[in-house]
Amino acid sequence: MKVSLGKSFGIFAIMLLGSAWPALADGHDPVIKSHGYSFFGDLKYPADFKHLDYVNPNAPKGGEISQWSGGTFDSFNPYARKGNSAALSSAPYETILTTFADDITASYCYLCKTIEYPQSRNWAVFNLRDDVVFSDGSKFTAEDVKFTFELFMEQGIPSYRSAVSGMVDKIEVVDPLTVKFIFSETAPRRDVIDLAGGIPVFSKSWFESTGARLDDSTLTPFIGTGPYVLASHSINERVIYELRDDFWGANIPSNIGRNNFEKIRIEYFADSAAAFEGFKAGVYTFRSENSSKQWATSYNFSAIEAGHVVKTELPDGSLGQAQGYVFNLRREKFQDPLVREALGLMFNFEWSNEQLFYGLYDRVNSFWGNSDLEAKGIPEGQELALLQGLVDQGLADLNLLTATAVMAPVSGNRQLDRNNLRQASKILDQAGWLVNDAGMREKDGQVFVLEVLDSSPAFDRITNPMIENMKALGIQASLNRVDPAQRVERSRAYDFDLTTHSMRMTFEPSSGLEQYFGTKAMEGSSRNLMGLSDPTVDALIEVVVRSETKPELNTAITALDRVLRSKQFWIPQWNKTVHTVAYYDQYEHPEILPAFDRGELDFWWFSVEKAAKLEAAGVLN
């Protein structure tokens, strides 16, 4: 199963020594032909590589791995806003280009043999493989590529269409195995090739014969070329995917040692507490633990003590996840940055980490944490020059040039930090939210009411202390925990005050940033959940997209990180730099895992001998 590593739409290509040859386009524009595409460096893997470095090429096939998912599902279409798509519902689909877990800023031909493009990136030709077959037995062709791209442009999620519309002028089917994308003059050249090669490919004939739509929910999966297909499902209870015995790519170098499980099963539970009890009972076999309390105190059940379950920490070299409570900036009361700053002082991470998290987490400060892209101190050098240019154009505030990068507030060892309470009170006074005779914050005759929207019972013990701190500040605060389906619908309708949101960044971002932070996506994106619309942010996203060198890109990202943090549209939460996992001892993995992918569904494998011992012990259901 291919695991998406979050590569943004584009990574600029350079001439690849030893892996590409130049020709001439229009007599002047050198053409590059290669088995892959990299922006700021050579491809790690040559055209004749035998298998990926991080897999076991002799890994056996077979067995089952099972995990859990929360809430409900009513669709197997992950590309529509309608419905709640089932876990792993994108598993049947593949893309022309792919990424590998140890070379995440490069793209490699997957459904294609080679790619050709001029140095100008005005167009790209994908020379497709002739052995790719959809799960219904039909051949994959260039017509499917053209059809799928046009389908996404017609029926795809609005925020995606907004981000990429106008980048492609024309798609030509040169022959059944050759497709050419011609890019518009205004399209960012760092984006275009990965945009064309990164869209999942569907069967044109299947869509035309069924009348299916990309923007509708459906319990009938689309036809794809991927290794797994839906085997069975029971609504809101279980989903099972099965490895195709006719999978076209089983023996190509990219897939050696991968897609090792015969079945992948997902068990649904109403909440994480029920899911944990299911794991203890052997209902499913692999668990990624996101509750520090459970990790520290609850892994002492009989299967652990008997050695049937492995509890371990695995390294995680990826970017720190930018997760936090986000304000709904569409609501007037949160448009004042002073209000957001004051409310942010009411979450006591230090107390939470000691009392609730068992010291397992670090505070989130940056959108590019755990990397050298994170803004620190005051701007200097090229970052300062970039910000000065925006100030000169009237696109940024002068104080950005001398202000220290915003860090999350630090609190004391009591739930309510009195110093932070006094500071927050002064800030709200300054913002015009004064305490009335009833002890409530009021402005223009309106009491300050705040509701935190959530669906996870595990967050209650974390959010409720923050609610109590806000009440001490004079805020009429409350937690509204709804079921997962209702939370999805309310989030899509932007019907919330404060809710938890994760913003996953990449090392070489580009146009995808517009969906998270851009004004154009403010009213049509589930990623820009907070409704951020800011000229400085928009300008810096444009600089990121147009960057042509690695130093230029890194400078722009650091400046963007600084500006985003200065807007304080979130109350940063927490993360950790290891994966905390537990699994029934019937799986094995390579000794050294790649830094950017845990890979249990990708390149782990099933041990028949170990499974037999578990079966004999009667520990699985």
Residue 164 has pLDDT above 90, yes or no: no
- For residue 185, what are the CA distances in angstroms to 10, 163, 188, 198, 203? 16, 16, 8, 20, 30
What token pair was written down for 206?
């299947």
- Architecture label for domain 228-317+577-617: 3-Layer(aba) Sandwich (3.40)
CB 356 within 8 A of CB 461: yes
Mean predicted lDDT score pLDDT of the chain: 92
Number of neighbouring beta carbons within 10 Å of residue 495: 14
- For residue 22, what are the CA distances in angstroms to 25, 31, 36, 592? 10, 5, 14, 37
Does 322-575 match 228-317+577-617 at the fold level?
Answer: no
The confidence score (pLDDT) of residue 158 equals: 81
| Residues 323-334: tens digit of each pLDDT | 999 999 999 999
Q: Write the DSSP string, 245-291.
A: TT-TTTTSGGGTT-S--SEEEEEEESSHHHHHHHHHTTSSSEEE---
Average pLDDT, stretch 500-506?
94
Average pLDDT, stretch 92-121?
96
Residue 57 has pLDDT above 90, yes or no: yes
- The continuous run of DSSP H or E covering 562 comes out as helix 550-567
The confidence score (pLDDT) of residue 162 equals: 76
Average pLDDT, stretch 506-520?
91
**Nearest in space to 368 (alpha carbons), one of 196, 172, 513:** 513
Dihedrals phi, psi of 114, to nearest 5 degrees: -145, 165
Residue 196 has pLDDT above 60, yes or no: yes
Across 33-37, 146-150, 525-529, least confident range: 525-529
What token pair was written down for 336?
């004042």
Residue 11 has pLDDT above 50, yes or no: no
Residue 171 has pLDDT above 70, yes or no: yes
282 backbone φψ class: left, alpha, beta (φ>0; ψ -120 to 50): left
The confidence score (pLDDT) of residue 351 equals: 97
Average pLDDT, stretch 258-264?
98
**Nearest in space to 596 (alpha carbons), one of 105, 257, 106, 101:** 101
222 backbone φψ class: left, alpha, beta (φ>0; ψ -120 to 50): beta
Band (27; pLDDT cuts 50, 70, 90): low
**Nearest in space to 536 (alpha carbons), one of 497, 507, 504, 569:** 569
Residue 224 has pLDDT above 70, yes or no: yes
Q: In the chain, pLDDT over 90 holds for what percent of residues?
A: 84
Q: What is the DSSP letter of 409?
A: P
**Nearest in space to 366 (alpha carbons), one of 406, 313, 326, 396:** 406
Average pLDDT, stretch 171-175?
98
Query: Residue 435 forms beta bridges with which residues?
Result: 441
The confidence score (pLDDT) of residue 26 equals: 52
Q: Write the DSSP string, 328-358.
A: -TTSGGGSSHHHHHHHHTT--HHHHHHHTST
- Architecture label for domain 322-575: Roll (3.10)
CB 84 within 8 A of CB 71: yes
Residue 430 has pLDDT above 50, yes or no: yes
| Residues 93-106: tens digit of each pLDDT | 999 999 999 999 89
Average pLDDT, stretch 68-94?
94
Alpha-carbon distance 59 to 592, whole Å? 15
Range picked from 78-82, 268-272, 424-428 for highest mean pLDDT = 424-428
Number of neighbouring beta carbons within 10 Å of residue 316: 20
Residue 440 has pLDDT above 80, yes or no: yes
User: Which residue ranges make up each domain of the chain?
Assistant: 20-54+83-210, 228-317+577-617, 322-575
Band (53; pLDDT cuts 50, 70, 90): very high
Alpha-carbon distance 573 to 349, whole Å? 8
Dihedrals phi, psi of 516, to nearest 5 degrees: -85, -40
Average pLDDT, stretch 523-547?
93
Secondary structure in 3-state letters for 282-304: CCCCEEECCCHHHHHHCCCCHHH
Of the chain, the end-to-end C-alpha distance in Å amounts to 25
**Nearest in space to 363 (alpha carbons), one of 377, 351, 373, 379:** 351
In the CATH hierarchy, which fold is given to the domain comprising 20-54+83-210?
D-Maltodextrin-Binding Protein; domain 2 (3.40.190)
Q: In the chain, pLDDT over 70 holds for what percent of residues?
A: 96
What token pair was written down for 111?
């459904």
Residue 341 has pLDDT above 90, yes or no: yes
The confidence score (pLDDT) of residue 1 equals: 55
* Stated pTM of the model: 0.84
Average pLDDT, stretch 50-58?
98
Band (56; pLDDT cuts 50, 70, 90): very high
